[in-house]
Amino acid sequence: MTSPLLQTYARADISFEKGEGPWLFGRDGERYLDFGAGIAVNALGHAHPHLVKALTEQASKLWHTSNLYQIPEGERLAKRLVENTFADVVFFSNSGAEANEAAIKMARKHHASKGHPERFRIVTFEGAFHGRTLATIAAGGQAKYLEGFGPKVEGFDQVPFDDLEALKAAIGPETAALMIEPIQGEGGIRPVPNAFLRELRNLCDANGLLLIFDEIQTGVGRTGKLFAYEWTGVTPDIMTVAKGIGGGFPMGACLATAEAASGMTVGSHGTTFGGNPLAMAVGNAVLDVILEPGFLERVERMGLLLRQRLAELKDRHPAVIAEVRGSGLMMGLRTHVPNTDFIAAARAQKIILIAAGDNVTRLLPPLIVTDADVAEAMNRLDAACAAIEADLKATAQRGAAE
């Protein structure tokens, strides 16, 4: 049967009818352990009762009014984000790409409002992923996302990952900001060294630049802190958030200091759906859970447990797993076999994983996983590795026979 959907996704031949906690229930009658969390979106797992209650209660009252009017739940969520971060102001959007668009515009407008419209360029880093709009694919700079969409949007200069001298050389009189993910997600779960992030902060301060952190994948508890910048000793001027902040409901946010956002005056930016009552109700419910005393400490402990178990898995299967990467519950396995083969072998064992660059497979379990869930995941990954090893052995034997 030919699908009427635009064929821009290589979808796996599986669909799901419901979820519960870290589990997905397929229409094939099978139960799958979800260690992808909808690409780090379902931060509290599937059908979390507090989120379901918040959404259904709000849905019975009011869905949408637009930003022409006050939205009290949005005011409340913004206040909570400000109280728990470096930021002074928040702009709500519908996605991470839109949050990054807001950050890019904010950085440019900051300088233009101070009489320097020539300062519009933003330096980004190889391996980055900042979204799928024309501006954000230009910011990410990856050829596979840029191909066929005409001239690259002007204003982005890419430098190699963790190359301070190349970064210094790229900064010029037109530079407005530096933009970076504290841990590259799509790029292969590559943590940026804290010392390099500190150098970025110093360069921004010395050159009058804004520092933008893209925490769309690393934020909202994923690394064991509310946001990953808290581990680094570095505070950005602008930070983008999405994925986990809505717990599965489409939502993004751009956080900033008052100074960084000083150019964003009435009418300079907007959104029809961003900050709608449904999203705000769910966002507040997510923070209710994540800001509970002890929750983030538990995430940190589970992240350490997951790393230990993955290191043991690598030791048992060195022919399959080359490297363990990541932080908290944002882990990656670089494999000797194609990551697509590893993900397929894992799916055959009823565990869901996510591909990334540099031949890495991402493990992004919901933040509510238990010791038992991690143990179950390791059993299934162990079986997946064993199946791959058996295939490698059979292939080698056929080659020898020929």
| 139-156 average pLDDT score | 94
Q: pLDDT of 254-292, one tens digit each?
A: 999 999 999 999 999 999 999 999 999 999 999 999 999
**The pLDDT value given to residue 260:** 98
Whole-number average pLDDT of the chain? 96
| 32-50 average pLDDT score | 97
Query: What is the C-alpha separation between 57 and 83, in angstroms, rounded?
Result: 26
**Amino acid code (one letter) for 74:** G
Q: Global pTM?
A: 0.95
Q: pLDDT of 197-233, one tens digit each?
A: 999 999 999 999 999 999 999 999 999 999 999 999 9
CA 87 to chain centre: 19
* Confidence label for 1 from pLDDT (cuts 50, 70 and 90): low
| Sheet with strand 238-241: strands edge to edge | 89-93, 252-256, 238-241, 210-214, 175-180, 121-125, 156-159
SS3 category, 338: coil
Residues 6+ apart with CB under 8 A from 303: 223, 224, 327, 328, 329, 330, 331
Query: What is the C-alpha separation between 43 and 172, in angstroms, rounded?
Result: 39
* Confidence label for 394 from pLDDT (cuts 50, 70 and 90): confident
Query: What is the C-alpha separation between 373 and 153, in angstroms, rounded?
Result: 44
Q: pLDDT of 319-330, one tens digit each?
A: 999 999 999 999
Q: pLDDT of 62-107, one tens digit each?
A: 999 999 999 999 999 999 999 999 999 999 999 999 999 999 999 9
SS3 category, 245: helix
Query: What is the C-alpha separation between 332 and 338, in angstroms, rounded?
Result: 14
| 290-319 average pLDDT score | 98
Q: pLDDT of 159-202, one tens digit each?
A: 999 899 999 999 999 999 999 999 999 999 999 999 999 999 99
Q: pLDDT of 46-64, one tens digit each?
A: 999 999 999 999 999 999 9
| 305-312 average pLDDT score | 98
pLDDT at 402 over 90: no
| 333-339 average pLDDT score | 97
Query: What is the C-alpha separation between 35 and 374, in angstroms, rounded?
Result: 9
